[in-house]
């Protein structure tokens, strides 16, 4: 009887370990696609780029942002994260231009999460039909005078950045947001948020390991 009790206790202790599935290796064609005509958005030698194609008016991007922000801080030091605003719809263009204007003014990182909140939580900015002077009132809270913001918003530098972002999105075959592109070569297509991040990290680690072998 004592043997049977001990056997049952050991079996119960072992059960949780037996039922924990090992992390699944991402599958090409299911979790990611290999891009034939692609290149990193902003290549930097010795780093693996992780680019997020996003849109401020996109509710999925708004929900993804806090999780993504935490995940980015855990990336290997050889990885580099960049955000790429999409211009899929005409009402997304003002916010894409606003992101680049904020980037050029040095406040994009401080205002990124707050812009999502202004659109989706506080509703102090409209999801569509936003005018530059209306968006300028948001950045004024961060020390950017409206006239300075509008000048940056309309600057030729932003025109060039918009074109570069558009070209990257087209060659990366991105048709929705949020989408992660790793090393300019892989489009993450996992159908869950956790799956997207796990696949992206796996691809980053694979690229780092491949570079180390060369």
Domain boundaries, the chain: 28-213
Q: Residue 129, by phi and psi: left (phi above 0), alpha (psi -120 to 50) or beta?
A: left
Distance CA 184, CA 51 (A): 8
CATH homologous superfamily for the domain 28-213? Glutaredoxin (3.40.30.10)
Q: Report the relative pairing of strands 32-34 and 79-85 from DSSP bridges.
A: unpaired
Concatenating the DSSP letter of every residue in the chain gives: -HHHHHHHHHHHHHHHHHHSPPPPPP-BTTTEEE-SS---SS--TT-EEEEEEE-TT-HHHHHHHHHHHHHHTTS-TTEEEEEEE--SSGGGHHHHHHHHHHHHTT-HHHHHHHHHHHHHTS--S-SSS--HHHHHHHHHTTT--HHHHHHHHTSHHHHHHHHHHHHHHHHTT--SSSEEEETTTEEE--SSHHHHHHHHHHHHHHHHHHHHH-
**What does residue 51 show for φ and ψ, rounded to 5 degrees?**
-110, 130
Q: What is the pLDDT of residue 22?
A: 52
Q: What is the pLDDT of residue 128?
A: 95
In which order are the strands placed within the sheet that holds 79-85? 32-34, 186-188, 179-182, 48-54, 79-85
**What does residue 128 show for φ and ψ, rounded to 5 degrees?**
-140, 160
| pTM assigned to the model | 0.88
Q: Encode the chain (214 residues) as per-residue pLDDT tens digits.
A: 443 333 333 333 444 434 444 568 999 999 999 998 879 999 999 999 999 999 999 999 999 999 999 999 999 999 999 999 999 999 999 999 999 999 999 999 999 999 999 999 999 999 999 999 999 999 999 999 999 999 999 999 999 999 999 999 999 999 999 999 999 999 999 999 999 999 999 999 999 998 888 7
Q: What is the pLDDT of residue 186?
A: 98
């Amino acid at each position: 009887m004592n043997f049977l009790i001990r056997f049952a206790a050991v079996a119960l202790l072992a059960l949780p370990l037996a039922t924990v599935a090992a992390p699944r290796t991402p599958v090409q064609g299911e979790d990611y696609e290999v891009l034939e005509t692609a290149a990193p958005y902003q290549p930097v030698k010795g780093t693996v780029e992780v680019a997020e194609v996003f849109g401020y008016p996109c509710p999925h991007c708004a929900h993804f942002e806090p999780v993504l922000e935490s995940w980015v801080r855990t990336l290997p030091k050889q990885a580099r994260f960049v955000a790429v605003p999409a211009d899929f719809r005409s009402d997304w263009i003002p916010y894409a231009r606003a992101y680049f204007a904020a980037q050029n003014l040095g406040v994009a990182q401080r205002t990124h999460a707050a812009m999502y909140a202004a659109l989706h939580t506080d509703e102090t900015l409209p999801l569509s039909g936003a005018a530059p002077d209306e968006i300028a009132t948001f950045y004024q809270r961060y020390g950017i005078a409206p006239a300075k913001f509008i000048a940056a918003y309309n600057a030729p530098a932003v025109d060039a950045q918009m074109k570069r972002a558009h070209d990257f999105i087209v060659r990366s075959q991105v048709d929705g947001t949020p989408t992660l592109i790793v090393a300019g070569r892989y489009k993450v297509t996992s159908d869950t948020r956790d799956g997207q991040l796990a696949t992206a990290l796996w691809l980053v680690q694979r690229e780092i390991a491949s570079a180390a072998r060369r």
